[in-house]
Structures are given as structure tokens and as C-alpha cells.
Structure 1
């Protein structure tokens, strides 16, 4: 037996076993690799029978390539059996994994080992596995008995804010955690049990289960949604949303996404449910919810795509729903209308039309622009009509455009005092199942120019003609029987005269020290002449053009503030006020020639706050018959609100819709939203939300009330459980 006390590298042959610690090597490489190891310990002992090397006291084994560190109070190496025993404050760092334990044994030939009271911390020190016994079954695979899993960083001795405890855990080479008899725990308190669970336990995009969502509804009963995320490729993924609804059945759902580059991406979502509640004999269900659908097969397919194909920019918008009630009944949840609206708006900058709209538009458009100011636009639109109306040949359905082609441009004419020649040429094929169909060609060339009257007056003049031709297919409509074509010719002229005045004021307002006021009064004239007025097929606003002969007058006010914040100069809009009214010169309007006064005002008291108000005022006794308010605010903490109010006496509209999300102290946040039809004293939807957030997890309780139903939903969001394509997912 030999005793050596050392803190410097020792002979390579005494350490060759460390070469195999976690990366097995060939025999020919042992001696070369062994020379890279360094050992320091308070005491080193070699026993001859059996051949054993023992290092004691602050033992540190280090290797540079690949970087590996082993620390322990005592290390014993059985040379004959190639078994390394480590005891006391064991720490092993193999680059991607860190392991700490009370003790353990490592089979160097097989690169396996068993550790007691151990913890494995995986890549980025974000994923933790802890167990009474951890078996290292491969290079990056483990088996854990009586352990738990957590995917957020912990301080030494810290109780995990949330974890999955299990009697048996298998960690695969791909980074999956397979849990048997698992319980989800908050601060080590079990709140949920599942016999089997699979976790994608890495921060990278990875296939695996996402955290489920639970809800309880007066109408639907208990509901459980268990999303499953599939990592198809670095630029595409698929999430499945199976959902059990006790009183309705199984709802299936899927979401596919791809990103090719900054300008090319797409998202497609779909849900299907064979609904047991879709039975007209369910009197309470239909009466309390004001539902009208009778179909049991219910679905919603929606999607958007932005795709650049060479020099063409293409946009796709898809919105197909089985019935309008679907969007109201399934508004909340990870695949509901509200979340879908938010998700698509964030990803594409555009969402879906209001869930109460009976005509869902499905469009595809592709655009090519040239440097000379011309552009070619191709469009197609299909209407998903869920109005439940009965159409006839003389009561037409909504028209589809299959397709529409538009060529437009602007061309300066230099030899005529620089006027602009503008043109818009459009071909559209309109199709519908019931009612007249037509192919329409619309040509609208226009000349526009500015007229220099004086340094204080600005004038513009525009004049043009428009010819609209129709090739008609009566499609059984009596009013168009025997007609195969129609044509409308019109001329138009418009002009505007105004002046612009500006002045700066020294103020202390909105963080600025200067207020700029721009005042622009104007008067205009518009004339449209249709020599041979005819009845035309009606498809869109082009067909609805009427004669016009009117004067317009108004005044525009724009306010902006400027100043310095944080050492940087800034300038931003602060407010505007616009008013406009017309005087109709046509004889048939001589008894009431004045049009309603249109007033619009906007106010931006803060950088991230806007308030806009619009009203229409009838000057012949009705007064203000239209009011519209739009307002929103958000700040860096996450607090935001929106409020929209609509009132139109002539169309019997009186409704309000608002949302509020407020960040509270102690990591709490609360939300409230309301949609109410004031005239009918009917609350369409009311949602209350309360969320508690920690650095790597959050829990939210929400209540959703609609006519005849109230739903409570519990949602957990966990850090690093699947982070697909940079988008947030429920359960992440």
C-alpha cells in the first residue's frame, strides 16, 4: 500500500479509468486521453490487493477536452472491475448535465452509474430531476425512483414552486421525461394526479405533452383539454388539442404552423365536435342561450398565411364555421374565439371579423408592384354564410368573387404642368348559388393636379370618367331574364380649396414643452353625372354609385407635442379635431339640402393611450343620432384596457364592449371584460380573470358568463414546457 499527498497532476496510468467516465473510448486512445486529466486531493492511497486507488479530502478531477469536472469528499477506484465509488458532496459536470448526490457508483466500462439522494440539472441549469435513487443508464439517459421533475431554476435549498413527483421516471436521450403515477405539486402540495405523463423537458422546441386546462360549466359540465405538441422540423410544428366535454362529447382540435422566413409564415387551426347538446328538444339549452342551430356536427376551420413568392406578395385568410352559435359557445379556452383572435392578430397583424358577423369571409390575394408606380392585384373571396336565411333567385345570397383582377397605377405627365394620370382597371367574376351572376369590367381613368393660386391657398382638382360593363347570367332571377349585358357610363369631377396655418406654443403638456397646432379650413365640390341611369346587378359599392352634386366645407385641427425625455428629443401626435358638412345642390334635396355634420376627435394624452370619438349630427331636428367611442391603453408592466361603444339610433344599435387587465402587487394580475347590448339590457359575455405569476409558472382562474351558462376555468402555465416557434401556448 502506498500513500501520496498531492495537489498536482499525478502519473497518467493511475487515472486512465477517468477517460471512460461518461464518454467510452477505444483502447488505443486511453493513454493519450488520460494525460489530459488532473487530480488534486488531500490524500491519495493505492492498495495492491485488490488493486484500488483511493483519493480523500476535497477531491477534484478535471479534464479540459471535453470539459469534465468531478468533485467528492472521497473517491475509490476498483481497477479490476472498472468501478468508481464516490462519497460525500458528489458533484459531476459533463458539459450538458450536472449531477449532485450524497454517494454513488459508476461503471466506467458501461458509462452507467447509480446515485443516492441525487439531483440532475440539465442544459442551461433550467431542468431539474431529483430522486431517492438515480440510475444513469446511458450517456444522457436516466431512471429515477421516487423522484420529481421541474423545469425552472432553483436556488440551493429552495422548495420548488411547482413540480411533477412520480414513483418512477425515465429520462430519454431526446430529453423526454416519462412519468408513472405522477402528481402535479405546488410548493410540494399535490393538486393533480395522472397515471402517465410525458414532458418535453428542455427549453428547445420538442415533441411532448403540454399542461392540461380544466373547466367546469353549468351547460357543458366538466371539461379537460390535454394539448400535445409535435416538433415536425425547425420551422414547422403541430399541436393537437383533444378535449373531453362531459355533456357534449369529444372535441378534436389541431394547430399547424410554419415559418420560412421573416415574410413567409402560416398558421392553420381546426376544431370538430359531434355535439350531443345540438338537439332542438333541449328546450332549456336553446331558450336560455338564444341558440338557433340544429346541426350536431360543429366545426371551425381558420387560418392565415403570408407568403412571398418571388416578386409576388400573397395573403390567405380562412374562416369557415359550421354555425354562428359555435363562436359564441366556444369563446374561451386555448382554441376558443378570443384566444384565436389574439393569437392570429399578434402573429399576422390581422384577426377575424366579429364573432357575431353572419358572413365569414375567406380570401386569398396576391400583389405585384413595380417601381414605375403600377401594381397588379389578384383576389378571390368565398363567403361562409351562416345566417340561416332561405334564399331564392329573386332574394339573392351573398356573391363570391372568383376571381378579381385589378391593375392600377400613377403616371406623372410632365408636359402638362405636372398633373398625374391615375387609372384603375378591374375585372371581377361574381358567382352565387341564388340570384343573378355577372362578369364585370370597370375602367376608371382620372387626371389629378394641384393648382398654384397663391402662397396661402392650396387647390387640387381631379376629373375622370368611369365605364362599368356587365356580362349577365340571370341564374333564374326573374328581373334579369332575357338580359345578357348591361353598361353604365359616368363622369366625375372634384376639387378642394384650403389653407394651412401653423403655430407653436410653449407649454408643459404630456411630457413635452412645445405644442404645435395645425389649422386647415377647406371647401370642396364633388360632382358625379350618370347620363343614362339604369338598374344594375348589385354586388358591391361600385354598383351602388349614384349621382352627386354637392359642396363640402369643414375644418381640420391637428395638435402635436415635442420635447426631450431621457436625453432624447421626441415629437408625437397629441390630438385632432375634424368637422365636415355638405350641401346637396340637387333639386330633389332642396327641402333638406344640408347633410349631417360629421365630427371626429382624437386624444393621445400618453404615448400608449388613445381615445377617439365620432358623432353624426342631423341639423333638421334629429340631433346626434350616431356616437362611437374607441379607446385603448397599455404600459410596459402589462396593464392594458380597451373600450368600444357604439350607438346608432337609425340602425337600432346600442352596445358596449370593453376589456381591462391590471397588474397588481404581490405578482397578482386581474382582468375583466364585458360585452353588452344596452338597448336589449342583455349581457352577451362577461369574463373575470385572476392570475398569480412566478418566474417560472403561473396559475389563472377565470369565470365566463354568457346567457344560460357560466364556466369556470383553471389554467396553469409552466416555464420551458415546449416553446414552439417563439409563440406562447397554453400550458407553456
Structure 2
């Protein structure tokens, strides 16, 4: 899969920013057996976005613990997104991200709130941290709807109101929550809450312990617990356990061993879902390393 993105932000006057962008995705697939008789195919998607935004901010002097200054920043944005798939009729041998995104022709209003802090420390001097981020997003479909193509744009054009809250009360504690509100059914079709604890290690690495709860009105209610632990010589291990709260015997387990060098990495993953196991190997290329200097 290849997805080049071209964006060009510019200022319109002193206070308004305009950021157009275009993105193209091509997925190449090779198949052993296909209902169409082809052993390879490619699928394409095109997307354009126009974003207008501005920024309003205010700085407050404070003397709360080690925080000496707080900055509240508000970023209202108006966005237009258009995405089209060229090859929706082609055979889909497996699920890919472009299938989840689907077609789109919508406008959206987003409101971002940030609370940043400047702390004075004896050992590290001045530190700047983002304590809170709160985002509201309201989308409006210009044609079709977000869940059923058979409904016209006049029936239910408003997408659910999305609220996203991120809190960092401590430098190593991370809390994130996302909730959707359906204007038509007057309920919450989706919610996701995650809590993570990071433990700093040498070399800029960090161990991570996390718990996550997911609710989907049309899907599952799941509780996930995961951990990532760093070892010596570039190795690390991790895993997660996930349980579907709607099914008494549904349990998913994942374990992995990871190795990361300067410019490449590999991860071996074992999955077990309700007694069915699988093994995957992921390779990563991060740069040329020392080769790029020669």
C-alpha cells in the first residue's frame, strides 16, 4: 500500500489559516486463488481536504505546584472532505483500511481546546507539557449518510457529535476518552476509554501498562489489558488480553517479541482467539542508518 500526501498550509490575512491537501492511495494485492480468476489487482482511492482555521490563546500566571504559567488555546476549524474509491466493485479478499474509510463528501466543524503548562524544575529547568486536550467534531454529510446508503441526505445528514478528551495529570499518566452522540436516536453508539502508565527507561524508551474499555452499539463491549516491557540489546516483549463482555467465553490473547536496531526492526506476534491460533511476522524499515552517511 502506498499513500502519498501533499499539503500546503498558508495564511489568509493575519488570523485565518487555509490548508488544502490531496491524498492518493494505491493498494496492490497478489492472490493465490480469486473468484475473478485474477492473481493480482490494484485498488485506488482519492481524497481531497480543505481546512480553514484560526487560533485564540491566553496565558495565565499561576503558582500551582511547579507550574508557573498556563496557556489556554482554542482552535476552531471548518473542514471539507471529499473521498472517492475508483475500484469498489473489485473483489475484496481481505479487509483493508480503505474499506473502513469508504466514500465521503462532507463538511465538519471542529473545536479544539488545549491547556498547556510551563513548569520549573531544579534538574531539567523549564518544561512544557500539554495537560489537557478537549475536541468536539460535528460532521454533516452532503450526500448519503454515514451508516446506510439507502437513506437520502435529507433523512439523517448529521453525523454523531464526537467528543474526545485527553488528560495528562502526571507526566507518566495518560487518560483518553472518546464518545459519540447520535442526534436522531438520542443515545451513545460508540465509546472508548483508555488509561496508560508509562515508566521511563534508559535510551529514551519507556515501559507501558494500559487498560482500555470499548463500547460499540452495533458490535461488542470489550475490556483490554496490555503491557510493553523493554529488555536489553534492543529487545522488548509485550502482550494483551481482550474479553468481549457480551460473550462469556470470548477471550483473545496476543503475545509478541520485538527487536529494534538503528534502522530496522522485526516483531513476531502470536494470537489466540477462542482457541484459534495464528503467527505473524512484521518487518520495519526506519531509515538508512549509517549507510545514509556514506
- Quick check: TM above 0.5? yes
For 1:452, which of 11, 33, 45 is the aligned residue? 11
Q: CA deviation at 1:505?
A: 0.9
TM-score, with length taken from structure 1: 0.27
Aligned to 1:577: 134
Q: Which residue of the partner structure matches residue 332 of structure 1?
A: none
Tell me whether 1:650 sits opposite 2:213 in the alignment: no
Q: Structure 1 CA distance, aligned partners of 2:251 and 2:31? A: 42
Contact 1:446 1:465 in 2 (8 A): yes
Partner of 1:526: 81
Shift in Å, 1:562 = 1.3
* Distance apart, 1:555 and its partner CA: 0.9
Is it true that 1:517 corresponds to 2:72 in the alignment? yes
Shift of 1:544: 6.1
> Can you list the C-alpha shifts for 1:391-427, whole angstroms capped at 9, x where unaligned?
xxxxxxxxxxxxxxxxxxxxxxxxxxxxxxxxxxx5x
Go from structure 1 to structure 2 and tell me whether the alpha carbon gap of 1:516 and 1:652 turns closer, same or farther (over 3 Å shift).
same
In structure 1, the residue matched to 2:287 is none
Contact (CA 8 Å) 1:510, 1:606: kept in 2 or not? no
Equivalent residues, number: 223
Partner of 1:619: 183
Shift of 1:564: 1.8
**8 A contact 1:537–1:543 mirrored in 2:** no
Residue 718 of structure 1 is matched in structure 2 by none
What is the aligned counterpart of 1:586 among 109, 129, 143? 143
Q: 1:614 to 1:469 in 2, by over 3 A?
A: closer
With over 3 angstroms needed to count, the CA separation of the structure-2 counterparts of 1:594 and 1:538, relative to structure 1, is farther
CA contact (8 A) 1:449 1:462 kept: yes
SS at match of 1:612: strand
The 1:644–1:468 alpha-carbon spacing in structure 2 relative to 1, beyond 3 Å, is closer
- Find the aligned partners of 1:618 and 1:642 in 2 and give their Cα distance: 28
Distance 1:543 1:625, change over 3 A: closer
Partner of 1:563: 119
Which structure 2 residues correspond to residues 597-612 of structure 1 after superposition, within 5 A?
A: 597-612=161-176
Partner SS state of residue 110, structure 2: strand
Q: How far apart are 1:450 and its partner, in Å?
A: 2.0
Counterpart of 2:56 in structure 1 is 501
Give the one of 553, 563, 572 matched to 2:109.
553
Is the 2:115–2:132 contact (alpha carbons within 8 Å) kept by the matching residues of 1?
Answer: yes
Q: How far, CA to CA, are the matches of 2:242 and 2:92 in structure 1?
A: 37
CA distance in 2: counterparts of 1:445 and 1:516, whole angstroms: 35
Distance 1:682 1:558 in 2: 42
Q: Partners in 2 of 1:684 and 1:542 — Cα distance?
A: 28
Deviations 1:602-653 (A, max 9, x none): 11122222221121222221522222222234689xxx97543222222121
- TM-fit CA distance, 1:525: 0.7
TM-score w.r.t. length of structure 2: 0.62
Aligned-partner SS, 2:218? helix
CA contact (8 A) 2:52 2:78 kept: yes
What's the CA shift string for 1:181-225, capped at 9, x where partnerless?
xxxxxxxxxxxxxxxxxxxxxxxxxxxxxxxxxxxxxxxxxxxxx
Shift of 1:592: 1.1
C-alpha deviation, 1:492, in angstroms = 3.0
SS of alignment partner, residue 594 of structure 1 = coil
Tell me by how many angstroms 1:682 deviates: 7.6
Distance 2:44 2:215 in 1: 38
Q: Deviations over 1:635-693 (max 9, x none)?
A: 89xxx97543222222121436499xxxxxxxxxxxxxx986544578979xxxxxxxx
Deviations 1:323-375, CA, capped at 9 Å, x for gaps: xxxxxxxxxxxxxxxxxxxxxxxxxxxxxxxxxxxxxxxxxxxxxxxxxxxxx
What is the distance in 2 between the residues matched to 1:563 and 1:635? Answer: 20
Q: Which of 1 and 2 has greater Rg?
A: 1
What does the per-residue CA deviation read over 1:40-87, in whole Å, with 9 as the maximum and x for residues that have no partner?
xxxxxxxxxxxxxxxxxxxxxxxxxxxxxxxxxxxxxxxxxxxxxxxx
Provide the secondary structure at the position in 2 that maps to 1:651: coil
Bigger relative contact order, structure 1 or 2, given CA contacts below 8 A and separation 6+? 2
**CA distance change for structure 1 residues 604 and 492 in 2, over 3 Å: closer, same or farther?**
closer
Cα distance between partner residues in 1 of 2:90 and 2:100? 10
| Counterpart mapping for 1:308-323 below 5 A | none
Partner SS for 2:9: strand
Taking structure 1 as reference, are residues 610 and 642 closer, same or farther at Cα in structure 2, changes over 3 Å only? same
Q: Corresponding residue for 2:265?
A: none
Aligned pairs (5 A) from 1:268-347: none
1:461 to 1, 20, 45: 20
Partner residue of 1:41? Answer: none
Cα pair distance change 1:621/1:510, threshold 3 Å: farther
User: Could you list the runs of 5+ residues in structure 1 that have no partner in the other structure?
Assistant: 1-425, 427-441, 660-673, 686-732
- Structure with the higher fraction of residues in strand conformation: 2
Query: Which whole-Å CA distance do the structure 2 matches of 1:531 and 1:525 have between them?
Result: 20
CA–CA separation in structure 1 for the residues paired with 2:101 and 2:191: 26
Question: Structure 2 unaligned runs (5+)?
Answer: 145-151, 201-207, 228-240, 253-294
Query: For residue 236 of structure 2, what is the aligned residue in structure 1?
Result: none
Superposition pairs of residues 19-38 of structure 1, within 5 angstroms: none
2: CA distance, partners of 1:534 / 1:641:
42
Kept in 2, the 8 Å contact 1:509–1:561? The answer is no
Q: For residues 513 and 680 of structure 1, do their structure 2 counterparts lie closer, same or farther at Cα, with a shift above 3 Å needed?
A: same
Distance 1:543 1:612 in 2: 26
